Each structure stands twice: as C-alpha cells, then as structure tokens.
Amino acid sequence: MNTGEAIHSMCEGYEKWGASPSFLAESKTRGFVSVSALEQFLTSIETSLEKSNHRLLPFVSGNGSTLRAFPCAPTRRWNSCEQTLIASDTKAAMCMLPFFWQIEPLLFAAARGAGAPLFMTQPDNFAVAARAIDTAGTNTIITTPSTAQAFAQDLTGHDDTHPRTWLLIRLLGETVHDMSTFASAARVTSEIHLVPGVPLLVQCEHLLMAKMDKRFHVSEEFELSLEDGRLLATVRDTELMPLFRLELPFPLKEVSTCQCGKSTMTL
C-alpha cells in the first residue's frame, strides 16, 4: 500500500467510527493523526458512543489532565497478556492496576484462556496482595512499573514471597523505569499500551529470557510505518478500534531481528 492509499484507508477507517467531515478533511491534508487530533476525534464521537455496544477504555492525554473514552470492539481480546500468562505457567493472576482502566473483563478473558483464576486488588493494597501470593497461589502480577517497584520493595522489607512473574503495563508517554528492583523475580515482561488494554509494544519469551527490558516487538494488532521521520501506528483490523496512522509521540528504533523472527525495537 502506498502512502496515498494508506491515507485513504485511514480516512475510511475513521469515517466508519463516526469521524466528522472536518476531521477527515484535516487528517487527509495532514496525512496522519497526532495524539491531540485523536483526542479531538474521541471528543467528537462521545455522544454516539452511548448508543454503541463498544467497550470503553480511558484515553488519558499526555499530561494526564483530560480523559476521553476510547471505544473498542467488545469481542476484542488481550492476546499478548494471555500468551504471557500461559508462558509463565500462571496458577493465579493478580491485577494491581487502577480499576478505572476498565481492564478487568479483558484481563479476565486472558486469564480464562490461560486457565488461571483472576484476583483484583487496588494498586496500593500491598498487605492483601502479599497474602494473595502466600495463600492463594497467585504467581503472576499485572501492574504498572511504579506500583511493581513499590510493592517489590514492600515484599522484600517484610520478607514476603515475591511473585514468579510480573507483567508491567506502561502507558504511552510514561517514563521508562529501572527494572533492577525485580532482578530477583524469575520473569519480568513489559508492555507499552496506547490505551489501557491496548498494547502497542510487547515482549516475547526470547527478549524476556535475555532480560532485554528496553527492547520490544510491535504488537500483532498493529503495524508501524516510518514516513518523513514520523512513526505511524495503524490497527490491522479496522473493526477493532479507531487507530489509524497515529503519530507516536516517542522515537522507536529497529535494532535487530529477534530469535522469534520479529524485528526488535528499542525506545
């Protein structure tokens, strides 16, 4: 697909999700959609979302000041999470992500796919989370890097058992954390999400085993293209969510090919 065709597909995609003619005209002229333009698009379709059956996820702008609803198909699954849970032989998964991320149904489906029960707790409830590891067989924790860091320190401080696997979810624009705190854990895998539950960058088993914590693969849901120095992300299945030629607000370099066969990117 050449650039002209890609821009045409982008407009078709956004139109299908209810974009206004002015948004489509602007996007066509620009040839891509910036994060702020996406935010405007989400604002403009808000009234139509009420009647739709889409799952609504919170889209938080870069500075965290505004929140928009990001729609995605109710049938959409969080496959990378399911793969992580399976690969890490998860007996029980514990979610320590903010509840307002609306991630529970996606995570529950992933956990079912891995044959593991799900336990949810507030991110700051370290006492209960520690007991869940001890007594309920929870061996995989899904959380943010900052919560993981604080919780791991708390576990060490109380001489409590650490989980076997951490799945760390970082939102677009968040800073990279030093993962050395988790050195004792057998497995630490990270994902960078465009919206909670929508991973753009993921890690495979090979990256994880090699402890290459700053290297990622592009999620199977997206394709990336580099045009005029801009990195653009487009969802492969246009039915799943409205994300076409989104300009990523961070640089991403292709550094090598992984043993799994996919390109390895670094931030």
Query: Interface residues with another protein (CB under 8 A)?
Result: 46, 49-51, 53, 55-56, 58, 67-69, 74, 91-92, 98-100, 102, 104-105, 108-109, 112, 115-124, 128, 131-132, 135-138
Least CB distance from residue 219 to another protein, whole Å? Answer: 22
Least CB distance from residue 265 to another protein, whole Å? Answer: 30
User: With respect to another protein, which residue has the nearer C-beta, 115 or 251?
Assistant: 115
| Angle (nearest 5°) at CA 261 between 249 and 208 | 70
Least CB distance from residue 140 to another protein, whole Å? Answer: 13
3-state DSSP call for residue 216?
A: strand
Least CB distance from residue 102 to another protein, whole Å? Answer: 5
Least CB distance from residue 254 to another protein, whole Å? Answer: 35
What are the start-end ranges of the E strands in 42-139? 55-60, 67-72, 93-96, 118-120
What are the start-end ranges of the E strands in 150-262? 165-171, 187-195, 198-202, 215-218, 222-227, 230-235, 246-247, 253-257
Least CB distance from residue 151 to another protein, whole Å? Answer: 16
User: With respect to another protein, which residue has the nearer C-beta, 135 or 184?
Assistant: 135
Using left for φ > 0, alpha for ψ between -120 and 50, and beta otherwise, residue 211 falls in left
Distance CA 95, CA 189 (A): 15
User: With respect to another protein, which residue has the nearer C-beta, 119 or 222?
Assistant: 119
| Angle (nearest 5°) at CA 25 between 4 and 195 | 85
Least CB distance from residue 44 to another protein, whole Å? Answer: 12
Non-local (6+) Cβ contacts of 255 within 8 A are 215, 264, 265, 266
Report helix angle 104-113 to 79-87, nearest 10: 40
User: With respect to another protein, which residue has the nearer C-beta, 98 or 173?
Assistant: 98
Report helix angle 145-157 to 126-135, nearest 10: 70
User: With respect to another protein, which residue has the nearer C-beta, 138 or 144?
Assistant: 138
Q: Kindly give the residue spans of alpha helices, DSSP state H, lying in 136-257.
A: 145-157, 205-209
User: With respect to another protein, which residue has the nearer C-beta, 68 or 187?
Assistant: 68
User: With respect to another protein, which residue has the nearer C-beta, 132 or 241?
Assistant: 132
- Write out the DSSP string of 124-138: T-HHHHHHHHHHS--
User: Would you give the end-to-end CA distance of the chain in angstroms?
Assistant: 26
